[in-house]
Amino acid sequence: MNTILRKSILGIAGLTVAGGLAAGPLNHDTSSTTPARDVAVTTQATAKLDTAALIPHGVQGTQSHIELGDEQTANVKAIIAATKKAGMDERAAVVSIATALQESKLENLGHLGDRNDHDSQGLFQQRPSSGWGTVEQITDPEYSTLAFLKGLKQVDGWRDMPLTVAAQTVQVSAYPDHYAQWEQQAADLVAQHWNS
């Protein structure tokens, strides 16, 4: 993706660009009204999720998988609950969970000292210095998910993009293709926990 296109997409997403890195969202109000087109949350608890809705473009590349512990499973459920709260659908939950799998393996990471990527923390490795919120906020699974989803909502056509492109447009990672490897596990987790 060329630099001009990336900067224009980031501008649309409400992110500022400094030296090619996303500086975070410009507006942190995660309680804003959700447009009607984003309200596609399944309300019937017994509804079966359609695999085509979870992975509309098919998975890209070799898929990775990790076994989840109790904390990671609780974070999956928190991401799904926040996605529903944001009025977004199952596909948004798949993108969110795949992103968190790549960024933190679904562990709510605090500051890692010398091993830290700048000041990145939480499920999505969001940075307080880039405007994602305070350390307390971005280490709250609901807040960090809503912040990620707010950025995703502002990416025009995110539903029509491969997962890794949608995630990368929000995250601006040094490894833009790495989100793709988690799509199948993320879809499986959404299918398992969306109606639970």
> Quick one: which H or E segment has residue 184?
helix 183-193
φ, ψ of residue 15 to 5 degrees: the values are -110, 150
By mean pLDDT, which of 10-19, 63-72, 156-165 is the weakest?
10-19
3-state SS class at 21: strand
The pLDDT score that the predictor gives to residue 47 is 52
The domains of the chain are located at 57-193
- Using alpha carbons, list the distances in angstroms from residue 123 to 23, 25, 71, 75, 194: 18, 16, 11, 8, 19
In the structure encoding, which two tokens stand for residue 97, read together?
A: 């969970």
Q: Is residue 56 within 8 Å of 94, Cβ to Cβ? A: no
Task: Tell me the pTM.
Answer: 0.73
The DSSP line for 82-111 is: HHHHTT--HHHHHHHHHHHHHHHTT--B--
What does the pLDDT look like over 124-160, one tens digit per residue? Answer: 988 887 788 888 899 999 999 999 999 999 999 999 9
pLDDT for position 176? 80
Mean pLDDT of the chain: 78
Q: Mind listing the pLDDT tens digit for each residue in 26-77? A: 443 444 444 444 444 433 433 567 777 899 888 988 999 999 999 999 999 9
Give the pLDDT of residue 174.
Answer: 79
Percent of the chain with pLDDT over 70: 70
Distances (CA, A) of 195 to 2, 32, 81, 90, 177: 40, 25, 10, 10, 30
In CATH, what class is 57-193?
mainly alpha
pLDDT of 45:
39
Over 70: is that where the pLDDT of 17 sits?
no
pLDDT at 167: 95
Instruction: Report d(CA 149, CA 45) in Å as an integer.
Output: 23
Rounded-to-integer distance, Cα 131 and Cα 151, Å = 12
State residue 12's pLDDT score: 42
- 73-116 residue pLDDT tens: 999 999 999 999 999 999 999 999 999 999 999 998 765 545 44
Distance between CA atoms of 86 and 164, rounded to whole angstroms? Answer: 21
| Helix, strand or coil, per DSSP, at residue 167 | helix
Element of type H or E holding 22: strand 21-25
| Confidence category of residue 21, pLDDT binned at 50, 70, 90 | very low
